[in-house]
A and B are shown apart, each in its own frame.
Chain A
Amino acid sequence: MVKLESLLCPTPAGLYCPPGDFYIDPVRPVPRAVITHGHSDHARAGHGDVAATPQTLDIMACRYGDDFATRRVALAWGETLSRDGVDISLAPAGHVLGSAQAVIRWKGVTAVVSGDYKRRRDPTCQRFEPVPCDLFVTEATFGLPVFRHPDAADEVARLLRSVERFPERTHLVGAYALGKAQRVIALLREAGWDRTIHVHGALLALNALYGRHGVDLGPIAPAGDAAGKLPGEIVLCPPSALADRWSRRFADPVSAFCSGWMRVRARARQRGVELPLVISDHADWDELTKTLAELSPGEVWITHGREEALLRWCELRGQPARALALVGYEDDAE
Chain B
Amino acid sequence: MRAFARLLDDLSFTASRNAKLRLVRDFLAEQPDPDRGWALAALTGSLSFSAAKPAAIRKAVEARMDPVLFGWSYDYVGDLAETVALVWPARPGANREPDLAEVVEALRTATRGQVQPMIEGWLDALDADGRWALLKLLTGGLRVGVSSRLAKQACADLGGVAAPEVEEVWHALTPPYGDLFAWLEGRSARPSADTPGRFRSVMLAQALDEAVDFARLSPDDYLAEWKWDGIRIQAVSERGERRLYTRTGDDISHTFPDVLEAMTFEGALDGELLVMRDGVVGAFGDLQQRLNRKTVDAKLLKAFPAGIRAYDLLLDGEEDLRGLPFTERRKRLESFVSAAKSHRIDLSPLQPFETWEQLATLRAAPPEGDPRIAEGLMLKRRDSLYEAGRPKGPWFKWKRDPHLVDAVLMYAQRGHGRRSSFYSDFTFGVWREDAAGDRSLTPVGKAYFGFTDEELKQLDKFVRDNTVERFGPVRSVKANRDFGLVLEVAFEGLQRSTRHKSGVAMRFPRISRIRWDKPSRDADELATLERMLETP
Contacts and interface: CB of A to CB of B under 8 A. Distances in A.
Q: Does A associate with B in a complex?
A: yes
B414 A243 contact: yes
Most B-side CB within 10 Å, residue of A144, A146, A253: A146
A316 B66 contact: yes
Contacts of B87: 145-146
B50 interface: no
Given A264-B77, A274-B13, A316-B66, A148 B415 contact: no
B116 interface: no
Nearest to A285: B87
Contact of A146 (B14, B86, B420): B86
B234 interface: no
Interface string B114-158: 000000000000011000000000000000000000000000000
Residues of B in contact with A, size category: 35 or more
A242 B12 contact: no
A146 B414 contact: no
Nearest to B12: A265
Contacts of A148: 86, 90, 128
Contacts of A271: 473
A43 interface: no
Instruction: Please report whether the interface of chain B is mostly helix, strand, loop or mixed according to DSSP.
Output: helix
B76 interface: yes
A3 interface: no
Contacts of A106: none
Interface in B12-62: 12-15, 19, 22-23, 26
Interface stretch (A92-100, A118-126, A180-188, A305-313): A305-313
Interface stretch (B67-75, B204-212, B254-262, B478-486): B67-75
A113 to B, nearest CB: 26
A206 B470 CA distance: 31
A166 B19 contact: yes
Contacts of B473: 270-272
Interface in A254-276: 255, 263-266, 268-276
A308 B13 contact: no
Contacts of A150: 127-128
Given A252-B418, A266-B77, A274-B417, A309 B22 contact: no
A273 B65 contact: no
Contact of A144 (B19, B76, B415): B76
Contacts of A248: 421
A247 interface: yes
A274 B69 contact: no
Interface string A158-184: 100010011000000000000000000
B367 interface: no
Interface in B418-435: 418, 420-421
Interface in B175-195: none
B82 interface: yes
A157 to B, nearest CB: 11
Contacts of B421: 242-245, 247-248
B83 interface: yes
Contacts of B418: 252-253
Contact of A272 (B65, B66, B127, B415): B415
A276 B12 CA distance: 11
A312 B69 contact: yes
B26 A273 contact: no
A146 B76 contact: yes
B113 interface: no
B22 A166 contact: yes
Interface string A267-294: 0111111111000000000000000000
B68 A312 contact: yes
Contact of B472 (A268, A270, A308): A270
A206 B65 CA distance: 42
Nearest to A246: B421
B416 interface: yes
Contact of B69 (A158, A162, A268, A313): A313
Contacts of A162: 10
A264 B13 contact: no
A145 B73 contact: yes
Contacts of B10: 162
B78 interface: yes
B66 A269 contact: no
Contacts of B65: 145
Nearest to B129: A150
Most A-side CB within 10 Å, residue of B12, B22, B418, B421: B421
Nearest to B90: A148
B78 A274 contact: no
Contact of A308 (B23, B72, B83, B415): B72
A255 B420 contact: yes
B420 A272 contact: yes
Contacts of A146: 73, 76-77, 83, 86-87
Contact of A275 (B13, B66, B79, B414): B13
A243 B470 CA distance: 15
Nearest to A272: B420
A264 B76 contact: yes
A41 B416 CA distance: 30
Contacts of B78: 266
Interface string A221-254: 0000000000000000000001111011000110
Given A165-B26, A263-B86, A144 B13 contact: no
A246 to B, nearest CB: 8
Contacts of A316: 66
A252 B16 CA distance: 11
Interface in B446-497: 472-473
A290 B209 CA distance: 69
B86 A242 contact: no
B13 A145 contact: no
A271 B65 CA distance: 31
B110 to A, nearest CB: 29
A264 to B, nearest CB: 6
A263 B12 CA distance: 14
Contact of B420 (A243, A263, A276, A308): A243
A242 B128 contact: no
**For the complex of A and B, 5 pairs with smallest distance between CB atoms:** A272-B420, A146-B86, A145-B87, A146-B73, A247-B421
Interface of A: 144-148, 150, 158, 162, 165-166, 242-245, 247-248, 252-253, 255, 263-266, 268-276, 308-309, 312-313, 316
9 contacts: A144-B69, A144-B76, A158-B6, A245-B421, A248-B421, A263-B86, A269-B13, A275-B13, A312-B66
